[in-house]
Amino acid sequence: MDGETVHIARRIYYLVNKPQGVVSTTEDPAGRSRVIDLVPQHDHLFTVGRLDRSSEGLILVTNDGELANRLAHPRYGVSKTYRVEVAGHPTLDELDQLRKGIHLAEGRVQASDVHLKRRLKQSTLVEIVLREGRNREIRRMLARLGHKVLRLKRIAFGPLKLGEIASGGYRKLERGEIDALRHASSSQGASSSHRRSKTSRTSQAPKRKRRPTAGANRSLGKVLKPEADNFVEYRESSEDQEIRGSTPRYSTRRLATPQGDSSSRPQRPFKKQPKKKRPR
């Protein structure tokens, strides 16, 4: 450009088995060990998403910003699989609650899938699949059910599996694996997972309560409908007639009586009387 040679950085993709105690941030003022310190140093390397310091397992390191954004964005719904050891023994109903959804501070979250792997003496191994990642999401979901997470390890990211890589180790991704990641994060690959997620949310969404109709007697806690049985006849008394000096006038008046009450009567049409001209 303008007579100068432009060097395009070569795309680099690493699969890393993050150990506990290592942070996923690119810069750490405290000087703690970072994930990007576990791979050969290149310019502009960063992690795809994050694992908190207490978690371990599969995390991707790259300098491909476009692919990283697609893999991390919840819109594309790329699956992430975790093996979790929790304290105690969650019931099947509690595990099913993870699928239906848990209410956290930022809203309702749910697991795409949950499998019970093994019950130990004082803990349980569970496999959880997520399609959107929030901060410490699994830990907070299980805490709401009363179970503390003892160990959390990510074992799969989309089509990639952790395999037998030692803790703290890494390997370069092959061309076929990169293409599989691109497909999983493409609009075509994401559309099916988005539809499944949307269908799940729709089928499990709570039904809204209908508001009371007009004429509701909220003090009685009953709903009245503006129908004929909520109107009763009103007829002027003889004293009112003498004061007005006119013939009896019929009208209807709405009463706040519960529907089906014995005091309700059929509605009669309102007879509008012509106005009398007053003598000047």
Q: Are 99 and 113 in contact (CB under 8 A)?
A: yes
Other CB atoms within 10 A of residue 71 CB: 21
Catalytic residue among 28, 52, 64, 113: 52
Active site annotation includes 64: no
Residue with tokens 């239906």: 100
Nearest to 155 by CA among 179, 183, 184, 125: 125
User: Rounded distance, CA 161 to CA 79, Å?
Assistant: 12
Q: Are 35 and 24 in contact (CB under 8 A)?
A: yes
User: Rounded distance, CA 33 to CA 158, Å?
Assistant: 26
Other CB atoms within 10 A of residue 276 CB: 9
Catalytic residues, by residue number, are 52
